[in-house]
Structure 1
Amino acid sequence: MEPTSLPPVVDVETWQRQLDDLRVREKAATRELDAIAAQRRRMPMVEMPDYTLEGAEGPVRLADVFDGASQLIVYNHMWFPGEKWQCPGCTGFTSQFTRLGFLEGYDARFVIVTQGPIGEALAYKERVGNKMTWYSTANSTFGSDVGAPPGGGFAVNVFLRDGDTVYRTWHTTGRGTEQLSHSFALIDLLPYGRQEEWQDSPKGWPQSPTYSRWVGSEDIAARYGPGAS
């Protein structure tokens, strides 16, 4: 599809000046993100009950989901009972994480917890080619207690383990999850950006309804699932 408009063409010196001006704001944003991370490291924490989840091998205590690590990131995946294709946003977001071994060097693990029954959840994981480790909170209140109840939305939660005691240290949802994703970071580098109607873009830039360019769960399965080439 041909673009409806193009950025202005300028000489190299003009381009460099504008890049330098933008870099000032980019550097300020980087320093602010560093300050936010520093504040996050100073957050207090809340002790969690001794939940039991369901994993591929059966019941597992929340403390054992850490698999020996002291830190745990949980993505609470939305789940719609009886549906073949689950939330495309959750499916697309978690499809990005295929190599998580580097977290071992930071004494951490990153897993998915969903409200779906474990058998259905594992079948869906296989169908869409997801590479993460999945657990189910269908038989516990864990999801409800961390902002992801049955029929509710998605969430990211972070936990710290001290022996058999688990503490909740951080939570976000909505666009707060974007910092964990490389997809939007790449798309936001592009001249036309996300091409969604809510974005502040120059006149004539391609724009579509929000979410209309997102890849669907069925498309993800075709690209990454068992039948993918």
Structure 2
Amino acid sequence: MTKPPVVEHAAWRAELDALRAREKAATRELDAIAAQRRRLPMVRMPEYTLAGADGPVRLADVFDGKSQLIVYNHMWHPGAGWQCGGCTSFTSVFTRLGFLDNYDARFVIVTQGPIEEALAYADRVGNKMTWYSTADSPFGADVDAPAGGGFAVNVFLRDGDAVYRTWHTSGRGVEQLTHTFALVDVLPYGRREGWQDSPEGWPQAPAYSGWLDSPDIARLYGPAS
């Protein structure tokens, strides 16, 4: 197998220091992006009623007394035994969210699926997050996650009963919210996906081939795991 050059420690350290300078510059740029995000204008949301495990709930009450809310809009395919593998895999990593209490925030899932089906699916794949349904509400469509549409992340700020939409992302913008790709990207082989720039001869496969699918998540984390 072709490898990058093998060198003495001093030469390796020099190359690492050069890479570290780029990494630190990227970190500072991410800090600047976060600062711009905090200064984005907001949009006031109308009243919405979602469905939760205990029945109807106002969007303002989904905050559960917190002032900030992150929503993962989970893709949903009516009647499918297994829902979106990417959504199922992404949300499976969030098993301990109590730390958000110290930041006056909450993180929940909202899906276009009926709440009974959504809760049953969450149990099937061992998902520990709190789920809500927007199947009977325009909320999902209004935040760029319509029925039959893709996944998204939306963030909201609450002031009393007034709710404001502050940020939205989808596609690869969601990657920054999970540790999975960050861990894989520091491995020598990276994601092993064909689109990546890797040394010649290193293992590569089609995009997504290393991702866990919904049955994999159920096998690892579900009730029968």
Q: Please say whether Structure 1 and Structure 2 have the same fold, judged by a TM-score greater than 0.5.
A: yes
Task: After TM superposition, give the deviation of residue 63 of structure 1 in Å.
Answer: 0.1
Task: After TM superposition, give the deviation of residue 134 of structure 1 in Å.
Answer: 0.2
Q: Aligned residue for 1:201?
A: 198
Alignment of 1:71-110 (within 5 A): 71-110=68-107
Task: After TM superposition, give the deviation of residue 28 of structure 1 in Å.
Answer: 0.1
Q: Aligned residue for 2:29?
A: 32
For residue 116 of structure 2, the aligned residue among 114, 119, 127 is 119
For residue 181 of structure 1, the aligned residue among 178, 197, 209 is 178
**Letter matched to residue 78 of structure 1:** M
Q: Aligned residue for 2:9?
A: 12
Q: Distance in 1 between matches of 2:2 and 2:103?
A: 46
Q: Aligned residue for 1:166?
A: 163
Task: After TM superposition, give the deviation of residue 213 of structure 1 in Å.
Answer: 1.0
Q: Give 5+ residue unaligned stretches, structure 2.
A: none
Q: Distance in 1 between matches of 2:71 and 2:206?
A: 30
Q: Aligned residue for 2:215?
A: 218
**Letter matched to residue 167 of structure 1:** Y
TM-score, normalised to structure 2, is 0.99
Q: Distance in 2 between matches of 1:80 and 1:195?
A: 29
Task: After TM superposition, give the deviation of residue 75 of structure 1 in Å.
Answer: 0.2
Task: After TM superposition, give the deviation of residue 177 of structure 1 in Å.
Answer: 0.4
SS at match of 1:202: coil
Task: After TM superposition, give the deviation of residue 18 of structure 1 in Å.
Answer: 0.3
**Letter matched to residue 201 of structure 2:** G
SS at match of 1:63: helix
Q: What do you get for the CA RMSD once the two structures are aligned?
A: 0.6
Contact preservation (8 Å) 2:3, 2:199 = no
Task: After TM superposition, give the deviation of residue 202 of structure 1 in Å.
Answer: 1.2
Q: Give 5+ residue unaligned stretches, structure 1.
A: none
TM-score, normalised to structure 1, is 0.97
Q: Aligned residue for 1:145?
A: 142
Q: Distance in 1 between matches of 2:213 and 2:88?
A: 8
Deviations 1:60-104 (A, max 9, x none): 000000000000000000000000110010000000000000000
Count matched residues.
225
SS at match of 1:112: strand
Contact preservation (8 Å) 2:71, 2:154 = yes
Q: Distance in 2 between matches of 1:185 and 1:5?
A: 24
**Letter matched to residue 103 of structure 2:** Y
